[in-house]
Structures are given as structure tokens and as C-alpha cells.
Chains A and B, each alone.
Chain A
Amino acid sequence: MTDIIRLTAAQSAEKIASGELTAVEVTEAHLARIEAVDEKVHAFLHVDREGALAQARAVDAKRAAGEPLGPLAGVPLAMKDIFTTEGVPTTVGSKILEGWIPPYDSTVTKRLKAADVVILGKTNMDEFAMGSSTENSAYGPTGNPWDLTRIPGGSGGGSAAALASYQAPLALGTDTGGSIRQPAAVTGTVGVKPTYGGVSRYGMVAFSSSLDQGGPCARTVLDAALLHEAIGGHDPMDSTSIDAPVPPVVDAARSGDVRGMRIGVVKELGGEGYQPGVVQRFNESVEVLRELGAEVVEISCPSFVYALAAYYLIAPSECSSNLARFDAMRYGMRVGDDGTRSAEEVTALTREAGFGAEVKRRIILGTYALSSGYYDAYYGSAQKVRTLITRDFEKAFESVDVLVSPTTPTTAFPLGERVDDPLAMYLVDLCTIPVNLAGNAAMSLPCGLAPEDGLPVGLQIIAPALKDDRLYRVGAAVEAAFVKKWGHPLLEEAPQL
């Protein structure tokens, strides 16, 4: 059973298709793993044992009937608890949606079911995806499988921790300011933020609509590509979904040839304030790319230093508007309805009881930034910075094919260290935020352990909009070179749980 959980998604699918393993065997192995370790890790908020086994049985029946199977048929997946799942609880890590059973599937959920992927359950996250440590979950934090006393990143810490502890070979995340890439970096896994509009947002609970993007999480670059292809593509139910084919991500992941590619190192994302071991591993990755035949140059993106400030005005502004829907009238929690209070009073009492501290902070900050008298100075200026950042990217991509940087300034820090220090917590997303503001694509993949603490470091690769395939081409090349150098995938160095 131990061997089954260590297979990649591509390997599992192949063995299921050939009959070497059944989908039920693969699913049962993962359910047993969850049973054995998740009490310690707390990656899952809800495990859908019956639903997963039913889906696995359907895949096995399909195969027995000689029907064709897709490239991920029978492979288990851990889904961030932000995507709606018909008949299965969806909380977004918030008390305000405790016990809510959605009456419909998100587009991503539908596509996974159509691809015969087995959904094991829903993973822990910072409430409404606001946070970088999963400590803002109303249901308690998740531990980092490399060191359970440290953060697994956030907001998608549950999905990343599930992958790193072999509870699932595939997971789903959403990335508004780094919530896929930063958890991937600190857990030694792979995470991709696709081009904005590349994966449907229908049925994905909204935080900041112009920034939110769902995407794949996995332990290998090829697995992430297979999942990207399964969930990506145009959706008429999401008016901001791009009407274009999914970039050839799987072909790119299989090629992994970077000879002749031009790669830019972002000057502003590194140096002072970065952990020495992070810088060291990043510099080694750049050396590896050179050895593989890429041409590496330094690129300056001067507006990036304002990205964090712009983000913490734009994201809270959009969140204050989006979260107005939680009004205690149509679904979710209702508090204080004793027959004497008005609807408005009940709404205010419910939101006070149902939202956690970080969500309230951001709603208030957004309400402030959008209020008359401050709008131009704050929200208006932040939107101009967004233009400048987009221009920096456009200029950079005139001379290089992709950009690279560390994914995060530090490795995983101890749980509790920054939970009530919002500004220190916000700094975690320094390198990932520019991509969300411009709407292009980026990946994080493991590039080694920091010598000073033995914890994973992430390499970020950034591509222009709709050129997501370049991430996989470069990512596959770096991954293969490192696995050859280390003699095994990085995760094999993680402690036994």
C-alpha cells in the first residue's frame, strides 16, 4: 500500500488503464493514508469516503466495459474547500458557511468528474483564501509535513500539505496573491497559477474577482500539466474566462527542452531581506538553467516594489464588495433573529459572529479604500500601479521568454509567529503578487533545501499571458536536472510521519 501512495498521478493512471491496479485499490490506499496521518497534518476539512469510492468503482466498471479512459482516470485528488461540490460541504474555511451543502458543482468540479478523477475530499485553507499560513482557517491550522510546528503556506496550505504527506497525488488551489505558489514552495511541491481566465471561476467562492485564479497542484511538473489540461479552457458560465484553447502544457512538460530559451532574473525580487539559503538555492537553479543551454540575463522591473502596496488596496476593496453577499438571508449562518431585530441588525450580528479577524480587517480596509474622499488616493492610485506593473512585464517579455525569482523570501516559519502581525504576514507574498496584478502565468517548483534549516525552497517561473506552456517546459527541465543531481525527488527527504 505504501508504494501506491508514492506513485505520481501519471503513473497511477497508467497502472489503472493497464489493469495493474484498480481505481478502488488506489483510492483505498489514499483513504488509508488519510486515516493514518491526517490527524497530525490536518490537511482535510472533509473526507468524502463514499463519494470517492463510488467514483473509483465507476472508473473500474468503465474499464471492464472496454470504454476509453482519460489520462487521469481513477487518480485521487484533494480539492481546496473553495470550489463548490454538489452534496458535499463547502466552507471556504469560514464559520459563516459551516454546514452549508452546495446545490451545484463548480465548473472545475464538473470537469474533474467528467475526467473520472476521484475527489477524496476538501482541504483546509485560510478563511476566504485570505492569508499565507492557513492559520486563518476557522477550523484550526494545518501543519507542514516537513515540520508539523511550521506553516504549510496559505491560503492553500491544506492542498499543499496533502500532496507533501502523500495523502493525494493531485490537488486544487486558487491563487489571488500567491495562494497556490507559496504553499507549493514551502512544502516542496509544484503549484501553478494559470493565466487569468485560463480556468473557470464559476462555483469558486470569490475573494478578489480580478485576481482570483484556480490552478493545479501536484508533486511533479507533468502531473500539474495533466491536471491543468483537465480543468482549463473556456467556460460560458464565467464571463471572464478566455475563449482560447488551453496552451499545450502537457507536451511542454514532456519536452523539457530549454536550449536557446532566454530567461530573465528579476533584479527587484531578491537580495536584501531574503533568507541566505533561499538566495543560494535560487542562484543554483539559475546556474542549472545555464548548463541546460538557456541564456540568462538580468531584468529590471522597477514598479514591482509597489506591488504589495497596490495589492493590499485592490484585494481588500474587491473583497469588501464580494463578501457583501454573506448577509444571513439566503444561505449560511444567521445569528440574532429573535423576532425583534431588523434584517440589517441580523446581518451585522451574523457577519460579526461568522467572519474571523483577517476577513474583518480586509473588509474594513477595503471599505476605507473605496470610501469617498479616499478613493482616488488609494484605490485609484493602486489601479495605476497595476498598469505600471503590467508594462514592466510587457517590456521584460520583449527580450526574454520567461522570468525567474525565488517564490518566497523565506522558508516555512513557525506557526503562530506572524498570525497577529498582518504586515509581516503580507510580506510573504512579495514575489508572487506582481503576476496576479498583471494576470499572467507562473509556477513554483522545488529547487532544494535551505542549508540553515533543511526546509524546501521554491523557484518561481513567470510566463506571459497565454504562454503557460513555457512554465512547464522550463519547470520540467529544472525538475529533471535536480532529480538527477539529488538522485531522487526532493520530497523523499521529508521526515516520515
Chain B
Amino acid sequence: MPGITREEVAHLGRLARLELSGDELDHFAGQLDDIIGSVARVSEVAGEDVPPTSHPLPLTNVMRPDTVRPSLTPQQALSGAPAQEQQRFKVPQILGED
């Protein structure tokens, strides 16, 4: 299994939307390398014939009746918003200027 480098941690941080500091990149790279090294053994044990389990319950598409019932008011839904305007969540710009 390949080792995990500082650059890889920075890349993973970008994928996960984490603006990691330089110190964290150094610190996490070593720790993650140790953790990956120790969990990699899972690939030694299970053969091709073993099916994967993603969940303890064998469920698919659980439905409940589609009935009208009380829900949060717009005011309640917005109560924790960092910023709001005209009964909507106000967010920073999503698309570039041009």
C-alpha cells in the first residue's frame, strides 16, 4: 500500500472542503500514514466470494404514507441561519464574477 504524503493530505483536504494549515498537513500526514498502515489488513482477509455488507438491515426504499402533516415554519427553518434575506438563506457568491 502506498504511503500518504503531505501533498495528498492537502488534496484530500480540498476534496473535503477543509482549509488545513501547514502544521496540520505535517501532523496529519504522519498520523494518517500510521492509521492507513494498520487498517490496510482488511484486504488480506476477505476473498472474492464474500459479499459486502453496507448496512445491518436488508432495507430498500422504505415508504410511509404521503400525508400532509405539520412541519417547520419558514421562520423556524431559518432560525439558525448565519445570514438571511427575504425569508431565504443568504449565502456568499456561488458563481464567479464573469
Contacts and interface: CB of A to CB of B under 8 A. Distances in A.
Interface of A: 100-104, 196-197, 210, 236, 239-240, 242, 303, 306, 308-310, 312-313, 320, 324, 327-334, 337, 339, 341-349, 351-352, 355, 357, 360-361, 363-365, 367-368, 371, 377-378, 380-388, 390, 422-423, 437-439, 465
Which residue of A101, A341, A382, A384 has the most chain B CB atoms within 10 A of its CB atom? A384
Contacts of A306: 41-42, 45
Contacts of A437: 56
A328 B94 CA distance: 13
B42 A309 contact: yes
Given A104-B72, A364-B12, A365-B35, A337 B53 contact: no
B6 to A, nearest CB: 12
29 contacts: A103-B79, A103-B80, A104-B72, A196-B56, A240-B55, A309-B41, A310-B39, A313-B39, A328-B82, A330-B80, A331-B82, A332-B82, A334-B82, A344-B94, A360-B18, A360-B24, A361-B35, A363-B16, A363-B18, A364-B9, A365-B35, A368-B36, A378-B39, A380-B52, A384-B45, A384-B52, A385-B42, A387-B50, A437-B56
A285 B90 CA distance: 59
Given A339-B92, A344-B94, A345-B19, 9 more contacts: A236-B64, A312-B38, A331-B80, A337-B82, A360-B18, A360-B24, A378-B40, A382-B42, A465-B56
A100 B51 CA distance: 42
A364 B32 contact: yes
Contacts of B45: 303, 306, 381, 384-385, 388
Contact of B80 (A100, A196, A339): A100
Chain A binding site: helix, strand, loop or mixed by DSSP?
helix
A312 B35 contact: yes
Chain B binding site: helix, strand, loop or mixed by DSSP?
loop
Nearest to B14: A348
Contact of A337 (B55, B81, B83): B83
Nearest to B82: A334
Nearest to A307: B42
A423 B30 CA distance: 12
